[in-house]
Amino acid sequence: DSAGKGFQLCCSLVALSFTGAIGLTFLMLGCALDDYGVYWPLFVLIFHAISPIPHFIAKRVTYDSDATSSACRELAYFFTTGIVVSAFGFPVVLARVAVIKWGACGLVLAGNAVIFLTIQGFFLVFGRGDDFSWEQW
């Protein structure tokens, strides 16, 4: 039944790509609309790019996958949480000091929510240890 799994993973990948594009559209609208026109919120892309790194490091370092918790995995959760909170706090700080408008902040926050849910969905779909996993990509 590997053809069914392959089709299901293909549909999941298309859905994740679509939601990621929606999140990036929100982010771009928060920067490029005529009322806003400031591109400082694009720096949240750095947070989006580095958010999976602690998980990858913990996955590589942690040898015992049967353990429910380990210090390395908990530290990775801590760093990932800090990165995600920083990504949501950055546009709020920019809006608070009047670098961007609050409408742009709302669009960037909506984009952040969609993009981080897409990243989490990617790990839920492709993070399983079966034949079709993100490790083969």
Question: Cα separation of 41 and 29, whole Å?
Answer: 10
CA-based nearest residue to 21, from 118, 122, 106, 123: 118
Average pLDDT over residues 73-97: 96
For residues 54 and 128, what is the distance between their CA atoms, to the nearest angstrom? 17
CA dist., res. 34 & res. 104, Å (int): 11
pLDDT grade, residue 126 (50/70/90)? confident
Residue 28: CB atoms within 10 A of its CB come to 16
- CA-based nearest residue to 73, from 57, 49, 52, 53: 57
- From the list 100, 83, 76, the residue with the least C-alpha distance to 46 is 83
Segment 7-56, tens digit of pLDDT: 888 899 999 999 999 999 999 999 999 999 899 999 999 999 999 999 99
Domain ranges (residues) in the chain: 2-136
Task: Give the pair of three-digit tokens for residue 25.
Answer: 């559209």
